[in-house]
Amino acid sequence: MALRPPRLPWLWLSGTLGVLILVLAGLGLWQQRLPQRLRNAAKAGHLGACLRLGRQLGALQPLHPQEQALVATCLRRQAQRSWDQGRWWAALDQQRRLVSRSANPLAENRQLQQWRQQLKQWVMQRYQRGELNQAFSLLSSSGENRFPEGQALQEALRENWAFNRFLFERTQAAVLKKQWWEALDQLNQLDHPWWKTQAAPLRRQVDGAIAALRQRHEDHDSHGPVKGLSPGGQVDPQRLDALVRRHLGQGLGDWAAFQAACRELGGKVHEEGPESDCRR
């Protein structure tokens, strides 16, 4: 009696081929439906689905111009939505992707630069209000500190803040020593609105002391020498003020201009009590 060949391998092979054919048919049908699903998602405003379907379709075949335009529209709307929601990092990165794949990269790059400029303005507004940490936080949350421009801006703000703080502390020290012209020189170099506001009480104190000094000079001219000084011991205040203004026009600071003018008139700077004086 002849033996029959086993049928199991053939059945297994037939079943495997059948499953493979079904899978391939399903993939083909799914691929054929992708363009329509992409169009439906774009029309319905399902931006996440639109972008996901665009990536899937692009991985299988080159996108047609119409499909590329749909994906670009979805990406543009997604970037705008991210911007409106305050998700700066996502918005800028999405806009950068749009620049690289859009049919009109100049227009997309113009939008990107407008957003970056707007962020810079917000950073500067916070910085001018004295909110240094908040300004740096915005640079970080927007991702702008990843790029040279953002890094340079952050470093410039940090240096300017430190410079104004240094001037403020120097002013405080000069006021404690009653070095009024030196204090005025430091005050006039402050260029940050918040630090100027912090220094406003010091400026009133310094301005009052210098006004008293000038009044003392005027009183001396009107009523003769001050007790304890030899006649002619104080320099002519009008000539002193004229020389100070001339040196200020040459770029010297207030204190340096006062010292130079005093020396030119043959005097020496004396600081007594709340006043700085120039005497021969």
Q: What percent of the chain has pLDDT over 70?
A: 74
Check residue 113 and give its pLDDT: 96
As a residue count, the chain comes to 280
pLDDT tens digits along 103-116 = 789 999 999 999 99
Degrees, nearest 5: CA angle 127-171-202: 85
Burial class (CB in 10 A: 0-12, 13-18, 19+), 39: middle
Mean of pLDDT values over 66-74: 79
How many CB atoms lie under 10 A from the CB of residue 141?
14
pLDDT in tens, 234-264: 677 777 777 887 777 677 777 787 888 888 8
Q: Are 73 and 42 in contact (CB under 8 A)?
A: yes
Contact predicate 117/88, CB 8 Å: no
pLDDT for res 32: 58
Report the SS3 class of residue 226.
Answer: coil
Q: Is the model's pLDDT at 24 over the cut of 80?
A: no
**Helix H or strand E encompassing 224:** none
pLDDT digits (tens, 9 = 90+) for 71-98: 888 889 999 999 999 999 999 999 999 9
- Higher pLDDT pick, 215 / 159: 159
Residues 186-241 have pLDDT tens digits of 999 999 999 999 999 999 999 998 888 777 766 554 444 443 333 446 677 777 77
Determine contact, residues 54/87, Cβ cutoff 8 Å: no
Cα(68)–Cα(247) distance, integer angstroms: 68
pLDDT at 19 over 80: no
Helix (H) or strand (E) holding 260: helix 254-264
Best CA proximity match to 68, nearest among 82, 80, 53, 78: 53
Banded model confidence at residue 13, pLDDT cuts 50, 70, 90: low
Which pLDDT does position 223 carry in this prediction?
Answer: 43
Average pLDDT over residues 150-160: 96
Percentage of the chain surpassing pLDDT 90? 42
> Mean pLDDT highest for which of 7-11, 32-36, 189-193?
189-193
pLDDT at 144: 95
Amino acid 225: pLDDT: 45
**CA 60 to each of CA 19, 22, 230: distance values in angstroms, whole numbers, following the listed order:** 22, 19, 101
Residue 278 has pLDDT above 60, yes or no: yes
Instruction: List the domain boundaries for the chain.
Output: 34-146, 180-223+232-279
Q: What is the pLDDT of residue 4?
A: 54
**Predicted model pTM:** 0.68
pLDDT one-digit tens code per residue, 115-149: 999 999 999 999 999 999 999 999 999 999 999 99
Is residue 154 pLDDT above 60, yes or no? yes
pLDDT tops 50 at residue 274: no
Phi, psi at residue 235, to the nearest 5°?
-75, 165
Question: What pLDDT does 219 receive?
Answer: 56
Answer whether 91's CB lies under 8 Å from 103's CB. Answer: no
* Highest mean pLDDT of the ranges 144-158, 201-215, 266-280: 144-158
